Amino acid sequence: MPKQWKKENLLKAYRTMREIREFEERLHIEFATGEIPGFVHLYAGEEACATGVCLHLDDNDKIASTHRGHGHCIAKGVDIHAMMAEIYGKKTGTCGGKGGSMHIADLDKGMMGANGIVGAGPPLICGAGLAAKYKGTGGVGVAFFGDGASNQGTVYEAMNLSMAWDLPCFFVIENNGYAETTSPKYTVPGVENLADRAKGVGMPGITVDGFDFFAVHKAAGEMIERARNGGGPSLLEVKFTRYYGHFEGDAMAYRSKDEVKKIRATVDCLLQFRNKVVSAEMLTSTELDAIDQDVKALVDDSVVKAKAAPKPPLSDLITDVYVSY
């Protein structure tokens, strides 16, 4: 697989995944100190999805994210310093400290927001697809949502609507095996692949291994191109797991102690990527290590700056309610 890749693209893919991993693992540590307010849901383990999908997008394309949104933000090019500051509730954050982890957004980057309401993104992305089609921008709308969210009526309605209106949309189910503590084995019994939900609305649907960056990237690329060229919407189910709790502070009584340990040691997306590109002699370990170091320094710096950044002034409390004030 890596043989057909340009080196710079491989470097970019690795760097993006590493940025997400480093960002999330650092947040895990920082959250434990008690300095980070509110709910924080980490994306670690799922990097290949956001990265594999968003590498096909530019700022003209829109994504709708979830409560687990940091990875989507980073993959869509949102500034890491502004993200970290937002999570710390600072004035310099992407949303001026008004949104926090669950509401990070950067509309200029086509990142329409992390979301506190499960299943709220897909209808919004139909709107993004509609606007792109109506204005002829050539853009696509991509909705990320979880296995749990796929049980929300809004998701089905949105998928069907996108078919009815033939919208340039792409739906991505991030099936990490849990909705909080509950497995899809209980909520969607008898269905092996959630991609089968596509059949109900007559769109193509496939399932890929979410630890395999190249598999995600290839499948997403075909579906996004299809949408971009007027071929209509489709559904991709990406299967993997999350490395941390549902949110920080979750003791994870619903999974065995070594589930994550095993996965990290065997199929982890960064590990697999590294092995593949090194054995294909496309990149060297030294090059990859250099990215690791660089990203670590970047995330370090973002934490230092976020901690030191000013809090929003009290006058900000009553601004931005409407466009006029």
Partner 1 sequence: MARKISYSQAINEALALEMERDDSVIVMGEDVCGGRGTDQPLDAWGGVLGVTKGLYAKFGDRIMDTPISESGYIGAAIGAATCGLRPVAELMFIDFMGVCLDQIANQAAKFRYMFGGKAKTPVVIRTTIGGGFRAAAQHSQCWYPVFTHIPGIKVVVPSSPYDAKGLLTTAIRDNDPVIFCEHKALYALQGEVPEDSYTIPFKQANIVRAGKDVTIVALGLMVHRASEAAALLAEDGIETEIIDPRTTSPLDTETILSSVEKTGRLVVVDEASGRCGMAADISAMVAQKAFYALKTQIEMVTPPFTPVPFSPVLEDAYLPDASKIATAVRAVLEQKKIPAAS
Q: Is 118 in the site for ligand TPP (CB under 6 A)?
A: yes
Among 7, 32, 107, 117, binds ligand TPP (CB under 6 A): 117
Among 136, 153, 190, 230, binds partner 1 (CB under 8 A): 153
| Amino acid of residue 69 | G
Measured CA to CA, the distance from residue 242 to residue 45 in angstroms comes to 5
3-state secondary structure of 43: coil
Q: Report the chain's terminal Cα–Cα distance, integer Å.
A: 52
State the binding partner of 134 from ligand TPP, partner 1, Mg ion, none, CB within 5 to 8 A by kind. none
Number of residues that bind ligand TPP (CB under 6 A): 17
Q: Is 158 in the site for ligand TPP (CB under 6 A)?
A: no
Of 179 and 260, which CB lies nearer to Mg ion in the complex structure? 179
Contact 174, 239 (CB under 8 A): no
CB of 49 to Mg ion, least distance (A): 12
Measured CA to CA, the distance from residue 116 to residue 100 in angstroms comes to 11
Choose the stretch contacting partner 1; rule: CB under 8 A; options: 18-26, 116-124, 203-211, 220-228.
116-124
Measured CA to CA, the distance from residue 277 to residue 287 in angstroms comes to 11
Quick note: the x/- pattern for ligand TPP over 57-76, rule CB under 6 A, is ---------xxx--------
- Taking the alpha carbons of 83, 84, 86, 90 in that order, is the dihedral positive or negative? negative
State the binding partner of 98 from ligand TPP, partner 1, Mg ion, none, CB within 5 to 8 A by kind. partner 1
Measured CA to CA, the distance from residue 325 to residue 321 in angstroms comes to 6
Binding region for ligand TPP (CB under 6 A): 66-68, 116-119, 146-149, 174, 176, 178-180, 246
